[in-house]
Amino acid sequence: MFGKKKTDSQVLLDMTNKQKRYEALVAVYHKDLYRFAHWLCNDPTIAEDLVQETFLRAWRSLDALQDKNAAKSWLITILRRENARRFERKQFDYSDVEQDTLIDDKTQSLDQSTEHSLLQKQIMALDTEYREPLLLQIVMGMSGEEIASTLSLNKNTVMTRLFRARNQLKEALSNSNNQQRGAL
């Protein structure tokens, strides 16, 4: 109790370090994490909540994160657990594709944005088991091995799912292209 002054400053130093680590973590990963969450649950509000909850939990157990290379999959694991918890809490009325919420306000040519929204629609139409590895690969930039360990699957399964995801997307796109051509 009496040596407190010293330990206090030590604690303060630790806290500043922790704060810095946390802020760095937010700066590096919050965008990708938000995008991942968004495409996982297809709702900007829920995505934001998920990201907030994820970072809050990350802060609480930040001391457990020793290896900075593991940060990404660590955060993903927390976020996925939070997302799963959301389903435990209440059964979500899950409409397949809610395109009204997807507003692309990037300044792009009409063609490009139609193609984007078409693609977005198709991505959301994918089963979660195909969508999730694809998101991890493209949004989070993870390798096959990383995805496998994050999703607790073996690598071959992950590769197969990625294959099927792209295959489905490609087919769907060429179908819709044909339809468009047919309409013309």
Residues that bind other proteins (CB under 8 A): 22-23, 26-27, 30-31, 34-35, 38-39, 44, 48, 51-52, 55-56, 59, 102, 104-106, 112, 115-117, 119-120, 123, 134-135, 137-139, 144, 158-160, 162-163, 166-167, 169-170, 173
User: Whole-number minimum distance, CB 158 to other proteins, in Å?
Assistant: 8
User: Whole-number minimum distance, CB 91 to other proteins, in Å?
Assistant: 26
User: Whole-number minimum distance, CB 41 to other proteins, in Å?
Assistant: 13
C-alpha–C-alpha distance, residues 101 and 33, integer Å: 19
The contacts found for 106-111 with CB under 8 angstroms, 24 or more apart, are none
User: Whole-number minimum distance, CB 138 to other proteins, in Å?
Assistant: 6
By beta-carbon proximity to other proteins, the closer residue of 91 and 113 is 113
By beta-carbon proximity to other proteins, the closer residue of 65 and 169 is 169
By beta-carbon proximity to other proteins, the closer residue of 85 and 170 is 170
By beta-carbon proximity to other proteins, the closer residue of 56 and 70 is 56
User: Whole-number minimum distance, CB 59 to other proteins, in Å?
Assistant: 5
Residues 6+ apart with CB under 8 A from 80: 40, 150
By beta-carbon proximity to other proteins, the closer residue of 73 and 117 is 117
The candidate with the shortest Cα–Cα distance to 22, out of 51, 58, 66, is 58
